[in-house]
Chain A
Amino acid sequence: MRPLPELTAENTAFWTGGERGELMIAFCSDCDKAIHPPQLLCPTCQSQAVVTRAVAGTGAVYSFTVNHQPWLPDMAVPFAIAVVDVDDAPGVRVTAPVACDDPDSVQIGQRMVIGFEPSGDVWLPLWSPLEGAAG
């Protein structure tokens, strides 16, 4: 069984926004910097006015790996995991598996769109190739 994230004051919005289909990213209300992983304090200006808001849920692959090793008995392999630079949230990457038929088709720079799958009390992110987008 794969462990789920422990929910905290900082991260609950991120892990539960998927129920509404929303990728929730933390931002500082004062200096507008994106903060990820989310924190209670803005590391740039130390403001405590950190809020989360939905971003578009798209991005470009910064890097990826195709996992071939079944680390757990019920793990279906191979599958790709992408580290994606998130649109509208400079400096933020969201790492998640890629839903696609051919994991070897994933490339750096490829456009992705996020989706979510429920698991326990959280919604886990899942990237999918953005159809029709230029690579």
Chain B
Amino acid sequence: MRDFPRAAITGVGMSDIGRNTGRPAMLHLAEAADRALARAGLTRADIDGIATYPGKADNSPGMSPLGTGEVRGALGLKTRWHCAVPDGPAQMAPIMVAAMAVMTGQARHVLCFRALTESSSQTAGRRASIAGAGKAQIGGWLSWLVPVGAMSASNWAGWIANRYFHEFGMTREHLGMVAVAERQFAQMNPLAVMQKPLSLDDYLAARMISSPLGLFDCDIPIDGAAVIIVSAADAASDCRLPPLRIEAMGSALGSLETWDQRPDLTTMGANDAGADLWSRTSLKPDDVDVLGLYDGFSIFVPIWLEALGFCGHGEAKDLIASGAIGPGGRFPVNTGGGQLSGGRLHGFGLLHEVCLQLWGQAGDRQVADARTGVCGMGGGFIAGAMLLNRD
């Protein structure tokens, strides 16, 4: 089915994640890079490519404080290829583009990074994660949301959830099971920011943010960084760990760049990308051992489960209620605690965790003999999906 050389993930690293750390983004990034290089058995001199999402940006506080130029400078990298991708298949875009770069010989080892200081920035400025806040005017797709009072992504995810509830009989209890399962995993991950137990009663008692989504349906702004190293197949032999082959990538998108016009808002761009992913491989959802699914809001998890074919449309509530996504389940999701309990690293943290699982490095939360993992990043109209496996 494949007539192109494969790319592989050969190293991942995450900084110590924290809330209101006051630590500069670059120091988080350097720590994540050191850990990824050590895991890969590479040095900075081996890195000849760099990629990030979205690039240095100030669209909301602390959302993307570092660009490729500063990181090349700070880490002393001399690259043959570099790229920042603000407009692609969600937060996964730089990893996908890096895979294409190594497949076409532009680089051998690409350092893909994501750094955020949303926790410190929001605390310092007393400003929430609101795109365009403080500006007089706003353009593009946000102009159809923010000026009419839908300022927060929690509003957009809220109306997706309400429609989904209406059509399929999902309730807040189902979303609560997602939050509780992720917290159970977080308690087995020393790097996760939320370690306190969370019961379904705690979840239901929390204050409402944007109905039907409450506090524990929303991911957590943090300070931190993650690095994913993507290598050419023939270069992966330079590395210490078995390569995690990128078996397939999916980034199809069939609807408009909006959060309210997709004809069926019980689906997202994820459904297009998920179908695209499976059209490019002979593997099936049943081959998957571990899942990383974008959980900026809890409602994205059931939608991604359906998008990636782990159940039919409208059936995710039953899969969730069966316990399949939690510890010991058949399709464990976000085993590091996800963004709901681990912190918002914009998908990079979810992929980091899938890779740890495939290398058998996930500590107390290790899924036995995990060989195949899938990761889906993005909510609303942006989505990218990736299937990884090892021998």
Contact = CB atoms under 8 A, between A and B. Distances in A.
B144 A124 contact: no
Most chain A CB within a 10 A radius of its CB, from B144, B207, B212, B263: B144
B63 to A, nearest CB: 15
Interface stretch (A21-29, A48-56, A64-72): A64-72
* Chain A to chain B: the 7 pairs with minimum beta-carbon distance, closest first: A65-B158, A63-B163, A5-B143, A63-B159, A3-B138, A6-B139, A66-B211
A108 B265 CA distance: 13
B137 A81 contact: no
Nearest to B262: A93
Interface string A73-116: 00000110101000000011101110000000000100000000
Given A63-B163, A95-B260, 14 more contacts: A1-B134, A3-B132, A3-B138, A4-B138, A4-B147, A5-B138, A6-B137, A63-B159, A69-B128, A69-B152, A72-B130, A83-B159, A91-B263, A95-B145
Contacts of A71: 128, 130, 133, 151-152
A125 interface: yes
Nearest to B149: A97
A6 to B, nearest CB: 4
B1 interface: no
Contacts of A95: 144-145, 148, 150, 159, 260
Contact of B146 (A2, A36, A108, A125): A2
A62 B208 contact: no
A3 B135 contact: yes
A81 B149 contact: yes
Nearest to B160: A63
B147 A108 contact: no
B162 interface: yes
Interface of B: 128, 130, 132-139, 141, 143-152, 154-155, 158-163, 166, 207-213, 256, 258, 260-261, 263, 265
A1 B136 contact: yes
B260 A65 contact: no
B121 to A, nearest CB: 15
Main secondary structure of the interface of A (DSSP, over half): strand
B137 A4 contact: yes
Given A66-B210, A69-B209, A91-B263, A79 B139 contact: no
Interface string A1-19: 1111110100100000000
Contacts, number: 119
A118 interface: no
A125 B148 contact: yes
6 contacts: A2-B147, A3-B132, A66-B208, A68-B210, A72-B130, A93-B261
Nearest to B157: A65
Contacts of A1: 134, 136
A97 B148 contact: yes
A103 B208 CA distance: 13
A72 B151 contact: yes
B138 A108 contact: no
Contacts of B141: 37
A3 B209 contact: no
**Taking each of B128, B147, B161, B207, which has the highest tally of chain A beta carbons within 10 Å of its own beta carbon?**
B147
Contacts of A65: 155, 158-159, 161-162, 210-213
Contacts of B143: 5-6, 11
Given A37-B258, A65-B210, A66-B210, A2 B163 contact: no
B210 A72 contact: no
Contacts of A96: 148-149
A36 B147 CA distance: 16
A63 B265 contact: yes
Contacts of A8: 139
Contacts of B210: 65-69
B147 A81 contact: no
B152 A67 contact: yes
A9 B390 CA distance: 52
A1 B160 CA distance: 26
Given A3-B137, A69-B154, A64 B209 contact: no
